[in-house]
Amino acid sequence: MPAPVNRFKAALAAGQMQYGCWAGFGDAYPTEVMSTAGFDWLVIDGEHAPNDIRSIMAQLQVLEGKPDSHPVVRLPMGEAWLIKQALDIGAQTLLIPMVESAEQARDLVRAMRYPPEGIRGSGAALARASRFSAIPDYIRTANDQMCLLVQVETVKGIAALDDILAVEGVDGVFIGPSDLAADMGHRGDSAQPEVRAVIKDALGRIAASDKAAGILAVDHDTAVTYRDWGAQFLAVGIDVVLLARAARDLAARWTKG
Ligand SMILES: O=C(O)C(=O)C[C@H](O)[C@@H](O)CO
């Protein structure tokens, strides 16, 4: 029995639109609620949400076997030891922030793969990823099911985009509008014309490559624009923001007369 087929990776390779949402509560219960919505993918955010390896694992467990809601685990940084832990608890799709060079991208590809293609440590026997050795062929088949999404979200990363797009083993490139705007001197304002111009150009270049283009938008019109610009794995919301806004609106309706 081989490693689980990564349907999200296959959908990206087939050019299918994939709509996602951030899962940022750092807890399995709200993530399980989000899995009833019908998104194609959910980001278990280990960068900006209060997640650790155990809370990420608990969210992977509640998403197990779902026909949609593919778990995309975002790590705080692209460190090989973090990647090893995330893959051993069962993640198959990683979103890695702050990628600024082809060399960095190549290192990430290698960190996600067992030798000889990579440097991933061979601990599958006791790992959840192999279902504790219930998948006997896991270590021989896992490499092909790894999906690497790199975040390009700085001026330096944008300058290296063509080189990053040439790296074998990168499945998608995600443009981070907030961090890119900040690095361009427009902290908090990704709607700045010069930022939008860079995003539009980058999405177009990614979409024209053999990689999938991805991005996050938290308002409908911007999401439609990003899709028109070439975004294929498109995150259209953040669960924490959805709840906060709905709660404030409801409270205002009753308490502000
Ligand atoms: O830079 C960005 O924008 C992103 O990487 C997405 C954000 O980090 C996401 O966490 C929402 O703020």
Q: Which domains does the chain have, with CATH numbers?
A: 7-255 (3.20.20.60)
Report the separation in Å between the CA atom of 141 and the middle of ligand 1, taken as the mean of its atom positions: 32
Compute the distance between CA of residue 87 and CA of residue 79 in angstroms, rounded to an integer.
Answer: 12
Three-class DSSP category at 250: helix
Per-residue pLDDT tens digits for 164-184: 999 999 999 999 999 999 999
Residue 73 β-bridge partners: 44, 94
Per-residue pLDDT tens digits for 218-231: 999 999 999 999 99
Instruction: Output Rg (C-alpha) for the chain, integer angstroms.
Output: 18
Tokens at 152, concatenated: 């390009």
ipTM of the complex: 0.93
Q: Report the nearest-CA residue for atom 10 of ligand 1.
A: 48
Residue 239 has pLDDT above 70, yes or no: yes
- State which H helix or E strand residue 73 sits in: strand 70-74
Report the separation in Å between the CA atom of 128 and the middle of ligand 1, taken as the mean of its atom positions: 29
Distance linking the first and last C-alpha atoms of the chain: 62
**Could you identify the atom of ligand 1 that is nearest to the CA of residue 151?**
5
Catalytic residue numbers, as ranges: 48
Per-residue pLDDT tens digits for 135-163: 999 999 999 999 999 999 999 999 999 99
Report the separation in Å between the CA atom of 97 and the middle of ligand 1, taken as the mean of its atom positions: 9
Report the separation in Å between the CA atom of 131 and the middle of ligand 1, taken as the mean of its atom positions: 32
DSSP code at position 232 = S
Q: How confident is the model at residue 6 (pLDDT cuts 50, 70, 90)?
A: very high
Among 51, 180, 187, 216, say which to mutate for ligand 1: greatest number of ligand atoms within 8 Å of CB. Answer: 216
What pTM, to 2 d.p., does this model score? 0.97
Residue 2 has pLDDT above 90, yes or no: no
Q: Report the nearest-CA residue for atom 12 of ligand 1.
A: 178
Q: What percent of the chain has pLDDT above 90?
A: 98
- Burial code (b: 16+ CB inside 10 Å, e: under 16) for 71-108 equals bbbbbeebebebbbbbbbbbbbbbbbbbbbebebbbbb
- Report residues whose beta carbon is within 6 angstroms of any ligand 1 atom: 48, 97, 151, 153, 176-179, 216, 238
